Structure 1
């Protein structure tokens, strides 16, 4: 694959999307948190409100689905304000597309819905040997997700209708070869440069710092030398694992679960068959079709008289080019791999049997079943160890809502201790010493829980926090046991730290001054510039160049080359950059050019789809009312 453009396509995508997506005003985290705590409308589409509870439910669904597909994903990444806001944007887009599908009369037929469901690999495993769907297993599977078949099918139908809204626009994008070449050449253009970093460390010997300087800097920047506030806390977490621990399995339920697993195993059996296919031309008349069928009936009569000649007759008569030369052999296949009439007939046969004439969309088949592979049937006792935790998990999912309500009530009603909730629900009461506002890995990294834990009421009165959702199907309540406020450390304790910081700042200032002086002198006489040997850099081969320096090198105006540029990098020093000339990219191979054009067309289609979505937001008055949170703060 074309790795370089894939690794850097965010730059191209950013350029395209800048043309069509307006910027947002950023709000502080505090305002965001206050907004989401209420039950008010958080967004609106076509005059219909999206409530806080809708948002919460949508985020839970998204998080559950993501964790189901990526079990090793850090749950903390899904618990941030930024992740929750992204879920709200997705929910608004869903409602918007549903509204557009309704207004623009995009509908999904029963036949289209059926095809979609038939292609679902999970549903395919629930088919009985005769090809029909095991409705009992189907309902049970959906019930573990809190859905009925009617709800699930309605959601699939709605999703298919929503897809149609953007499908026509998103698939219409194309990029001509000349445009693709121009953009590729511009994106992968190389630059011949020389650069020099003036590091502050090289100027530290020139810095002199007295005790008076240290004290003055300390007094002016005392807030930088505070010991952070800390709290000793206790917390308790309710999740599916905790609920499952309290479940005692009924032997009858375990037996029933075993029987269901046996049915699922049976549905995964593979069959091997050979066939003779006589094709029917598209648009053939009834008479022509009848002639083909009559020929198939004649071949079937021959096979009944001499079953052992199936392979010879298939080689001579079958019109399936893929299997005819192999005597009609189709190798092994599972349910869902063949068209339904063929599959139904093949799964109705015993090994060695030959079917009647079977009609499908491809023509007329005669099928001989040559082998059956059935999964080995394991005993109840052999599967007990695997089934117990899975069945407990399923039952825990059904009981979690009841346990969550009880947990929330207990931590609220007995607000001065978490012990009653832990004892009642058999949960582990955990403690942490010296917790700061930045939290720590695990549930104590959740921003909402940390905000509640360090709120004035929690700190002063040592009351329990409310039960906070710290992950999918996970609630946590915490309580401050001991609190130490932030305090300025005495100068004696931080004098070395103050001195080092002051030296670094003054050394960086000297590096900058020296760099600016050199830049001014070299611009007057560019031949006097003393820089290391030239290197060639590009977006896909930056040669270790820092991003800021690379960006300056690639964006420099070369109408009067060479160009000298100075870059102040603060504590990292000062960079002097000379951009000598542009170097054309190496001509791409035909395959690389094709892949570039394909990726660029996909990006363009995505951009057009985003632009159309933006238009629909204006057309149907879609509005997000919740303030957008600011950038996530890095863990300190």
Structure 2
């Protein structure tokens, strides 16, 4: 065979291939051939720049973690739509790349030194107010990132933020625009309105059976039931494994002794403090000031309470002489708490440095939590120990249930082996039922899965909570069916009455507006109605219903003495006919320069946001994005 290979390698074609490989190696390196063998397209390309699969995978994982954290301890990863999650993360990465390219095109820049400064000044990466590399790396590991990945992410976010800030901070509002907005905001209007009742109109409508049947026949597709299932199931509950009587007195006594030790260590301390902020002052200067103030207190020149009221920068305690009251461990920041719980009653501490500044701490009193007696705690401890023992039995039974349900053709064997009752659910559709079980997402997915629907299998154990699990199987499939006319007759009548009532009510309002616009009075057109009046009504005033108020400020200004009219739907389904008789301009004589400045700042910020949003829409529309 080797001789054959040697002979074939002497041909012209073989030599050409070898020559091509040599040239490729020389020009591009071995990576070029590896790339040819592994040429999978990236998930997306933005103006020729790739959004890598690694970025997408990392983004999906981070977003999945956030979602599961929000779902709580009973989070179900299977409830997350992976395709939807991937699309959302990819869209976000594409938008980020578009914005990053825009920022770089503007010549925006972030040096490595600036990134370093941001990292070392981030509180999450600090211990006792100082940057700690181990803390930095540990924090990043919890979110699946490396320091290099974090630096790249920080750079992107900051560059995008620079461009956003450039638009937002460069926007401005002219004094004329500010005054115009203030004038519109303070403008008032003279209105009146009258209510047209929907109920009164609907009561007078006649809905015949023929009308209802015609509507039924025209909407047969709407009146189909959903396919439903009835499940059989067995439930395993950890509480059933708890047996307080099986817990020995010795175990209860041991648990009580352990609790006593914790009670003896559990104490509260009544403290007061004075906070001196570092601020613009130098570190050494503030420390010297704290030392001097401490000495003045020790010399009796000033009391601690007086010093706190005069010098403390803590607004919550300064007025109370620095008093913080009784607190246990876990309330205060590390250095403060460590100092406090190492002091003797009546002692005044040396200055303590925290991220807030320098503290002088005074310990007023110490009180220990009084431990309850054995007789008080024994029933509780016995129940807790029984619950702990039940957990082991529950886990063992859950594993046994999984094996039995997998190997059994029904639920009879698992129920008999574990002493469980076979129960039945009410019929329910894929959208869920009315009970906790039939509305559980895990149960719904299992009930309508191919394994249970087509194969007739038992489900795997489905954990409803950490202490409860069920195994389900389909007992009955109820196919979709056409609802009879009699079953939906009441619904049809309600729909028709509402629709025709709306039409009749709107026609009545239009006729009333037409008559009023011709100069007729309300008494002439609708003697049973009356006007509700709101003179000089301001925006968002409670003089009229909210819908009436908003419509009044959207209506065109009256031309001359003739009011203008419009209709609006109210929250309860009634209609209101609104009369606008006058628009009253605002008096701006009391507007001072400070108010104009604040309003101008608000408007400029809003204009900046809108400008940047318009910029984003423009660059996103112009970007060439290819999703693979």
TM bucket by the smaller chain?
A: 0.5 to 0.7
SS in structure 2 of the partner of residue 60 of structure 1: helix
| Deviation, structure 1 residue 433 | 1.8
Corresponding residue to 1:312 among 293, 296, 300: 300
In structure 1, the residue matched to 2:369 is 375
Larger displacement relative to structure 2 (107-116 or 324-333):
324-333
In structure 2, the residue matched to 1:433 is 426
SS in structure 2 of the partner of residue 312 of structure 1: coil
Equivalent positions of 1:482-521 (< 5 A) are 482-491=476-485, 498=492, 502=496, 505-521=499-515
Change (3 A) 1:284 1:410: closer
2:206 aligned with 1:207: yes
| Deviation, structure 1 residue 558 | 3.1
Asked if the contact 1:315–1:326 (Cα under 8 Å) also holds between the matched residues in 2, the reply is no
In structure 1, the residue matched to 2:344 is 350
Change (3 A) 1:555 1:253: farther
1:57-107 Cα offsets, whole Å, 9 max, x none, are 432211218x9xxxxxxx99x99989997999699979999999xx96645
Equivalent positions of 1:94-173 (< 5 A) are 106=115, 109=119, 112-113=122-123, 151=141, 165=158
In structure 1, the residue matched to 2:29 is none
SS in structure 1 of the partner of residue 370 of structure 2: coil
In structure 2, the residue matched to 1:445 is 439
Asked if the contact 2:56–2:93 (Cα under 8 Å) also holds between the matched residues in 1, the reply is no
Asked if the contact 2:263–2:369 (Cα under 8 Å) also holds between the matched residues in 1, the reply is no
How many angstroms apart in 1 are the aligned matches of 2:275 and 2:481? 86
How many angstroms apart in 2 are the aligned matches of 1:264 and 1:606? 58
Corresponding residue to 1:63 among 55, 71, 81: 71
SS in structure 2 of the partner of residue 555 of structure 1: coil
SS in structure 2 of the partner of residue 444 of structure 1: coil
Equivalent positions of 1:386-535 (< 5 A) are 413=406, 417=410, 430-439=423-432, 440=434, 442-446=436-440, 449-450=443-444, 453-454=447-448, 458=452, 463-464=457-458, 478-491=472-485, 498=492, 502=496, 505-525=499-519, 532-535=530-533
Structure 1 residues without counterparts, runs of 5 or longer: 1-40, 68-74, 120-147, 301-308, 627-636
| Deviation, structure 1 residue 415 | 8.0
SS in structure 1 of the partner of residue 214 of structure 2: helix
How many angstroms apart in 1 are the aligned matches of 2:219 and 2:94? 51
1:438-493 Cα offsets, whole Å, 9 max, x none, are 43253433467546535687557655567778789987664432343343344466
Change (3 A) 1:520 1:435: same
1:509-554 Cα offsets, whole Å, 9 max, x none, are 444444444444544557676563144477744667475x665444
Larger displacement relative to structure 2 (479-488 or 450-459):
450-459
How many angstroms apart in 1 are the aligned matches of 2:320 and 2:217? 92
SS in structure 2 of the partner of residue 59 of structure 1: helix
2:565 aligned with 1:564: yes
Asked if the contact 2:224–2:480 (Cα under 8 Å) also holds between the matched residues in 1, the reply is yes
Asked if the contact 1:200–1:508 (Cα under 8 Å) also holds between the matched residues in 2, the reply is no
| Deviation, structure 1 residue 420 | 6.1
Asked if the contact 2:558–2:582 (Cα under 8 Å) also holds between the matched residues in 1, the reply is no
Change (3 A) 1:458 1:317: closer
Asked if the contact 1:280–1:292 (Cα under 8 Å) also holds between the matched residues in 2, the reply is no
Change (3 A) 1:193 1:332: same
How many angstroms apart in 1 are the aligned matches of 2:601 and 2:253? 51
1:201-248 Cα offsets, whole Å, 9 max, x none, are 425546363x54444343333445556654433456779x67996999
1:382-427 Cα offsets, whole Å, 9 max, x none, are 556667888999999999999999877776x358545666778888
TM-score (norm 1): 0.54
SS in structure 1 of the partner of residue 557 of structure 2: coil
Change (3 A) 1:55 1:317: closer
Asked if the contact 2:56–2:89 (Cα under 8 Å) also holds between the matched residues in 1, the reply is no
Change (3 A) 1:387 1:526: farther
In structure 1, the residue matched to 2:268 is 269
| Deviation, structure 1 residue 270 | 1.0
Corresponding residue to 2:217 among 219, 230, 234: 219
Change (3 A) 1:84 1:268: farther
Structure number with larger C-alpha Rg? 2
Q: Say what the alpha-carbon RMSD is for the aligned residues.
A: 7.3
- Greater relative contact order structure (CA < 8 Å, 6+ sep): 1
In structure 2, the residue matched to 1:197 is 196
SS in structure 2 of the partner of residue 269 of structure 1: strand
SS in structure 1 of the partner of residue 425 of structure 2: strand
2:56 aligned with 1:49: yes
Asked if the contact 1:418–1:429 (Cα under 8 Å) also holds between the matched residues in 2, the reply is yes
How many angstroms apart in 2 are the aligned matches of 1:344 and 1:404? 45
How many angstroms apart in 1 are the aligned matches of 2:243 and 2:51? 43
Change (3 A) 1:258 1:186: farther
SS in structure 1 of the partner of residue 530 of structure 2: coil
How many angstroms apart in 1 are the aligned matches of 2:401 and 2:445? 20
Structure 2 residues without counterparts, runs of 5 or longer: 1-42, 101-108, 130-137, 313-317
Change (3 A) 1:245 1:337: closer
SS in structure 1 of the partner of residue 217 of structure 2: helix
How many angstroms apart in 1 are the aligned matches of 2:267 and 2:608? 38
1:131-158 Cα offsets, whole Å, 9 max, x none, are xxxxxxxxxxxxxxxxx98955988997
SS in structure 1 of the partner of residue 344 of structure 2: coil
TM-score (norm 2): 0.55
How many angstroms apart in 2 are the aligned matches of 1:603 and 1:404? 59
Asked if the contact 2:241–2:394 (Cα under 8 Å) also holds between the matched residues in 1, the reply is no
Asked if the contact 1:207–1:506 (Cα under 8 Å) also holds between the matched residues in 2, the reply is no
| Deviation, structure 1 residue 372 | 2.0
SS in structure 2 of the partner of residue 218 of structure 1: helix
